[in-house]
Structure 1
């Protein structure tokens, strides 16, 4: 039984801190690696922890990564680039708003009333 499984079963305060550090290590592995595969020595360079703990976390992370449908455990969301060059990509989740310099109906009504009032005052 690994430390991760022991921490989940026992739920002790000391084990919870170990569990939190393991989750942080998994997050660091996922963010640093992205879509490419990583080996255990590279993970040891990336994570500055106990070698036994790194091995357990790396084994757990690589097993989860292989069994998941996507290659990464943290899903990536496509966004539009700042220069707006990816406007035709249908898989972009978030697009930037375009500048609209239109007056609303209420604003245009107030503008027309104001201009009529100004014309009426100038005619006096």
Structure 2
């Protein structure tokens, strides 16, 4: 008995499956390319000078100028007052936290677990 090598369930679908696989692989590979690097990363320097070059002003920088402060410095008395205020706030929060005890709901939670367990199993089993 002679038979064809291409006879089977996929014999008629083989060209379509091959085309679909080829199309999907081309779509996936097209995501790995970009049209132009300059569209993704701008290359123009912000100062107008070529990249990596310093601006020539003809003078040397003066490093002896003291930097200006953004805010006045705290005096020792102000520092001690702030520390006292922060420690008082910290101790009041600790005292409030110790006074409140967590409720003991262990029995209620165990009862809820057993009823929920039965309900969930009955839903899964379809009863």
TM superposition score category, shorter chain reference: under 0.3
State which structure, 1 or 2, has the greater radius of gyration over its C-alpha atoms.
Answer: 2
| TM-score of the two chains, using structure 2 as the length reference | 0.21
Q: Which has the higher contact order (CA 8 A, sep 6+)?
A: 1
| TM-score of the two chains, using structure 1 as the length reference | 0.22
